[in-house]
Structures are given as structure tokens and as C-alpha cells.
Structure 1
């Protein structure tokens, strides 16, 4: 794959000259989109195979000496570790992304994610080995190493999302950042389809309830990540640095213009926007992990559905999610990011109260509808988020600010609610899980309404922070 043509000097910063592929939406933008889409698909695939395994097999493999309910709770506790690691990753990789560039940082996030995922595939369980190694397991060290690898996954994904969205947003022509930002936002849909599909094929091959699936079968989706990482590295290495970052490098040549600690600058300049945006993004995470990992666990343990049926529903929902995400992101270029995201959250407030009574009917069709709608409202909100957050921050700390905002939402909506929900399911009625989700959605709705509209912001504007603050003050 050839490298991407950068805009030449002498034109408006960040806006490719007329007649180039980037300006006309030709091959260069398609390559940038492909690099971003494939990279986030691989990263999220690695992240989601863990979530699927956490729901289907980890309680048995790594927590065999506790009750099924406590095993599920412990499994989702390891699942949640990554969400606490994600803000750390956004700060760490955001620092390097804002200092040395988007592209080089994204190569490292891909390597760390891929290698930690492959390692999980070879990890012996609590009292069972892996491929003939450690036949009696490694006891307590199994869960410990699992948590360590999960932390590395979260660390890598915390640095991945912002870099991937900046890769597209900083190449996008004016008024088309929503359309370009759809590429990284499609990564979760593609990854969820691949993760569900891989487990689906393995389950059909080795049997839905056989010991082979528990002992060996679940490992293959993790090990297969190695092939995806090789492809992802090839794609990422073929892409040049973004024109906006190139311009930023030129303008920060003086010592006074250099930002030694982008994290400190982001907190000092826009800490309110980071916090509000983090709360606004919490429902994005809550609805995705409710529709994917948590519903997978609920359908398997509480409702007693087969693995193949649950995974098949996930694959169907992932296809719908992809179309909904694309439509919402593109539409946000016309009406603005806030309106689209706010509409999704308003719908989520109501849908959350309907969700569990619907699935508790015991109908497989109702379960399919529940997963599809839950992921669809997530897609409507997540599609425009790929443009909204990069548009909020200045170039000197954009990687850090956008990543930190998004990944704070991961703690508020992705780490804590699944643990609370698992406890509620074990001790109370499932309707209260819906009440919890509805309350989180209402908070996110208020927060997104408090944010300024960003679709007309200039990503090269040195006074972006003051403009954001001014817009917020005029609301």
C-alpha cells in the first residue's frame, strides 16, 4: 500500500489543496479511513474476545471454586480492570501522541494490545493446563496473570481510540469530519461481529457444551489475533502523519510554544469540558457493554440460551450497529453532534426501562430485539463522538484531551455499572438494572446538552479553547 499524500505548504493549514485526492475525497482519504478502521477493528476485536470469554468460559476456567454467580461477578471484575487502565493509557499514549505524533503512537498501542491478547490464549487456567502445558493449572497465578493482561489491553485501547479518531479528523476536509470519523467508530461493530463470529465457529466446531470448548476451544480466537496484528501493522506503517500535526510541529518550534506535559495543559485549560464530556460518554460505554458482554452473560447463565444462539444474535446486531453508526456520524455533519447524541440518550432513558422485562419473557426473538436495539442506540451516540471530542481540544493536547474524556466515560459507564448490575441480578430483580441504566442515561443527556456544538470548529485554530469556552458561556 502506498503512503498518503500530504498537503503541500502554502495552503490553508489542515485543508488539503484543491485538486488533491484528500480534498476531493479520493484515494488518500480512503486509505486514511481504511488504516483507522482496520486498526480500531483489531484493537476492539482483542478487547471484545475477552468480554465474550468472560461471559462464557472464564468463570469456569479461572474461578472454579466459587458459585456460578460469584464466578460471573469475579469474571466481570477482571473485565472491568481494563476500564480503569484506559484513562491511564490515554494519558500515557496521549503524551507521546501529542509530542511525537499520532502514527508512531498508534503502532505501539496495536503491538501492546495484540501481544497481551495472544498471551491470554496460552494462559493456563486455575486448575487446568493449556495445550498440554501445566496439566494441573497454575492456581492463583492464572487469575493474576489474566488481570495483568487485561490491564495491558485497557492501557493500549486507552491510547488507541483518540489516535484513530485524530487520524481521520485531522485529515478530513471541512464540514466532513463526521463522515470521516465514522471509520474508527465502525471498529466496534466490525470487531464485535468478528469476535462473536469466531466464537460461533469454534462453538459449532468443537461443540456447544463440550469440555473441549472449555479447555481449548475458547483459546483460538485469542491466538488468531496475531494474524490481525500483522495486517494492522502493515496498514498503519503505510500511513503518514496527519497534516494538522505536521502544522502543529512547525508552529511549536520555539521553546515557549512547546508543551512538555500535554496532560497538565489539558487539565489546566479544559478540565471542566473533560469531566463533562466523560460523564456524557458514560452511556456510550454502558449501552455497548450491556448489549454485548453483559447480555451474553445474562442470556447464557440466567436465561439458559445456547452459546451458538447468543453469538448468532450478536453477529446480527453487529451488522445493524455498523449501519446505524455510519448514518448517525454522517447526519451529524448536517445537524450537529449534540442533537444526534442527545436524541440517542433520550431514547436510552426510556429503552433501559423496557429492556429487561422484554428479555425476561424468555423469547429468543425478544432477546434478539433487545440486543439489536441496545447496540443501535449506542451506535447513534457513538457515531458522532468520533468527531465531537477531537473538535473540542487544541492541537497541542488534542490526543490527550479527547482520549481522557472518552476513557473517563469508560470508568463511569463501562467498569462500574456491569459490576453493580451483576450484583443486582444476583440479589434483586432485573428491572432494577434497567433503572440503573436509565439513570446513567439521564445524567449523560444533561451533560451532552451542557457541551457546546463543535462541528464548525477549526482544528488548526490556536484559540479553540477560548472559542469553546465562549460558546459554552453563550448557551
Structure 2
């Protein structure tokens, strides 16, 4: 059956109602980001011990973060693969496939034997499933963004584009609440089996997401491209020939966003919960294990449950400001809003030590860390929200899935894949202080700012009839 015939057979009803668009773009990305963050949390709390027993805590953490970053490398490949089919046969089927791929990979992680059972084979299997997660997420975001923006009313793309973006804070909150409950109810069993439960739980969320997405019909925008016989055989080739500037700009638009997000989530969880040197030495002495003070990188020693609750409070601001950013971007434009928040991110990067340096007063220290997380996640919401509309607006309909996905996910390598590794290395180089980590964020912010200044405003670009 041809693409045209398929569309005619599947679109006997009216275009997608607003409630269906919101649910399909929101629930799907919530599930995908839940799966992704479940891995990110386990990469800090469980995987260094269970899959990377190097004998040195810092080395084990770096190895665990390396597998976290490996998924980012797979994401552009997933964007090209799913983007090809999303631009060739439609958004709906491609979104279902990406969600199913992510769900299966995440569910299987829960069944993995550990290093103690089968040695390095366990590590290899973990990496393979992690790559599958990244591959799936590479095709997820752009499809969800297109479902939202291609169904948006005139002048409301920025607002509707925030619906898939909201999946990030929702997924983060659910994943961390699940870990928090397990760690609270069965604290002594977390490393034994408790870490597996969040990965099993993802199956229920995937079923809900699939049910919603299977009820979608293709957007009118994509149907117009089909009727105009404008579907290209190789979307990636057409993209690189005619729209490569959009890929470059989109990649750097997202750079600061990725870095600030992964610093606020993965890195701060490591730094905030890592014991100070004296406490780590005392714990090692009590356990009768050696302690190498020269190689140990200290943190703040905030209890895990306490720190996760602090993060969740910050992520609430992330979600609220993600939604707020959409109408603002529709009113004043994407470029003006993002230039302003990127300058704020650059300044924020220069304040890390002001908020995160050890103070010797747990109450004062905790208040500063909470303020840091709240500010960081607020900035994240403002910069992340408009991206759901901005990146798709850089590309014509018949290469839009591929173009927005490739730009978004190449940036994940430069920002998300490298951010945890660079942050840990800079944290160690500064003897446990965070000022160098903040400088790194500011430098990435400068690169994003340059791209935004070079790029054009896309708020009023033709969207539904634009073809490559």
C-alpha cells in the first residue's frame, strides 16, 4: 500500500483533537525520559558497584558515566533511522516504534546479571541495552515535537511545542520518586534487587504510551506533503544538501540547554551525595577497607533521599517555566527569549562555587544548594521549552523529522554525553570544588549565544506548506 493510500485509510476521522495531541506528545516523552533517567540515577547509585568494580570509586563512577554517555552517541543514529521513516511514511508509526524500542531495552536492563555473576559480559550487555535506549530516544523527541507543532493552531506553535518538552521534568520526577520509594522502604535491598524495580515499572508506562499513540492520525501538514508528491527518497541526503545550515545552528542552539540539564541532574547528584573526605575516610576505616585520600574527590555528603527531594523541588520549577516559556516565545519570538536566558546561563555558570562550596554548616549549605538547583532548573525550563517549536521550524516538512532530530541529537553528544565526564574531571582537577564545572557551562553558553545571534527569528516562518 502506498503512503497516500495508507493515509486515506487511516484518516477517515477529523484531524487530531487537542487533547489527543497533548497526551500523545506528553505521555510518550514522559515515558521515554523516565526510562532514560532511571538509567541515569542507577548510573550514580548502583552501576558503579554492580557493573564496574574497579576498586576506585572515582574510576568506577567515570566508567558508569561513560556508558551513560554512550547512549548519546547512538542518538544521532536513531534520529537518522527513525527520521528517515518519519519523513517517508509518517510520524505516527515511527513514534510507536521508537517508544516500543525504548520500553523493551529498559525492561531488559532490569533482568541483567551483574558483574559478580558473569563478569565483564554483564558490563557489555548493559552497554548494548544502553545503546538501544539512546537509539530509541534519538527518534522519539523529534516525532513528538512534530506531533505537537504540526497540529498547533496559527500563532501557537511555541505553546504547543512545550507539551513534549514537559515530558522531561515529568519523567525525571517519576523516575526519582520510584527510586526514592524503593531506597526508603527497602534500603538494605537496593543493591541486591531494588535497583531493578524502576526498570520493570517502565513496562506499565510504555503500555499507556502506546495506547495513546496508536489512536493518532497523521497531521494535515504531512498529508499535504504526500498529496504534493514531495516525499523524498533519502531525507538525510536532501537535508545535508539543502538544509545543513539548520542542522549546524540547531545543534548549537541546544548545546547550553543540554549541558545545564545534565549538570543539574546527573552531576549534582554525584557531587551532592558524595561524602566529604573525612567522612569517607572514617567509613573506610570502619569497614576495614583502604582509603586513598590523594585520589578521592570529595562532595557535600547530603543524604541521597534528602538530595533527591531537593532535586524534585527544583524540577517542579523546570516544568512550570517550560510551560511559561511557550506563550512568551509566541509573543516576543524564540530568538529574543533564548538570547536573554542564555546570557543568564552564562552568568549562572560563574556562580557555582558561591552556591556549592562546603560551608561547614549543614543548614546553610542545604539552603544554598536548594537555591542553586531552583535557579538552574528554572533557567533550564526557559531555555528548553521553546526548543520544541524552534528546531522543527528550521526545516521544511519533508525533511523536518530528520532535520530536527539530527540537530537535537548531535547536540546530545557535544552537550549531554560529554558533560558528566568533563564535569567529573574538572571536579577532580579543582580538588572537589565546582568552579571549573561552572566555567565549562559558561563557555558552552557562549557558543549557544553566538549561534542564536547568527540565526534568524522563526516565529512567523511558513510551516505547513514549506517543502525542501
TM score, norm. by length of structure 2? 0.89
User: 1:126-165 counterparts in 2 under 5 A?
Assistant: 126-127=115-116, 137-165=117-145
Q: Contact 2:112–2:122 at 8 Å: present in 1 too?
A: yes
Q: What do residues 384-414 of structure 1 show as CA deviations (whole Å, max 9, x unaligned)?
A: 0100111111111000001111111111111
Q: What is the aligned partner in structure 2 of residue 180 from structure 1?
A: 160
Q: What is the aligned partner in structure 2 of residue 228 from structure 1?
A: 205
Q: Contact 1:277–1:448 at 8 Å: present in 2 too?
A: no
Aligned-pair Cα RMSD in Å: 1.7
Do residues 452 (structure 1) and 429 (structure 2) align?
Answer: no
Give the counterpart of 1:100 among 84, 89, 102.
89
4+ runs deviating over 6 angstroms: none
Q: What is the aligned partner in structure 1 of residue 296 from structure 2?
A: none
Q: What is the aligned partner in structure 1 of residue 266 from structure 2?
A: 293
Following TM superposition, by how much is the alpha carbon of 1:357 offset from its aligned partner in structure 2, in angstroms?
Answer: 3.4
Q: What is the aligned partner in structure 2 of residue 471 from structure 1?
A: none
Q: What is the aligned partner in structure 2 of residue 419 from structure 1?
A: 421
Following TM superposition, by how much is the alpha carbon of 1:247 offset from its aligned partner in structure 2, in angstroms?
Answer: 1.1
Following TM superposition, by how much is the alpha carbon of 1:71 offset from its aligned partner in structure 2, in angstroms?
Answer: 0.7
Q: What is the aligned partner in structure 1 of residue 300 from structure 2?
A: 303
Following TM superposition, by how much is the alpha carbon of 1:297 offset from its aligned partner in structure 2, in angstroms?
Answer: 1.2
Structure 2: 5+ residue stretches without partners: 1-6, 275-298, 360-364
Following TM superposition, by how much is the alpha carbon of 1:417 offset from its aligned partner in structure 2, in angstroms?
Answer: 2.3
**In structure 1, distance between residues paired with 2:150 and 2:236:** 20
Q: What do residues 86-105 of structure 1 show as CA deviations (whole Å, max 9, x unaligned)?
A: 11111110000000100000
Give the counterpart of 2:220 among 243, 247, 250.
243
Q: What is the aligned partner in structure 2 of residue 114 from structure 1?
A: 103
Q: Contact 1:32–1:168 at 8 Å: present in 2 too?
A: yes
Secondary structure at the residue paired with 1:215?
Answer: coil
Q: What is the aligned partner in structure 1 of residue 240 from structure 2?
A: 267
Following TM superposition, by how much is the alpha carbon of 1:300 offset from its aligned partner in structure 2, in angstroms?
Answer: 1.5
Q: What do residues 67-122 of structure 1 show as CA deviations (whole Å, max 9, x unaligned)?
A: 00101111110000111111111111000000010000000100110110111111
User: 1:47-446 counterparts in 2 under 5 A?
Assistant: 47-127=36-116, 137-207=117-187, 210=188, 212-252=189-229, 257-301=230-274, 302-362=299-359, 363-428=365-430, 429-446=433-450
Q: What do residues 40-89 of structure 1 show as CA deviations (whole Å, max 9, x unaligned)?
A: 00000000111111111111111123300101111110000111111111
Greater shift in the superposed pair: 272-281 or 225-234: 272-281
Following TM superposition, by how much is the alpha carbon of 1:21 offset from its aligned partner in structure 2, in angstroms?
Answer: 9.0
Secondary structure at the residue paired with 2:191?
Answer: helix
Q: Contact 1:81–1:147 at 8 Å: present in 2 too?
A: yes
Give the counterpart of 1:35 among 1, 24, 28.
24
Q: Contact 2:261–2:377 at 8 Å: present in 1 too?
A: yes
Greater shift in the superposed pair: 425-434 or 94-103: 425-434
Secondary structure at the residue paired with 1:214?
Answer: coil
**In structure 2, distance between residues paired with 1:337 and 1:161:** 19
**In structure 1, distance between residues paired with 2:36 and 2:231:** 34
Q: Contact 2:41–2:176 at 8 Å: present in 1 too?
A: yes
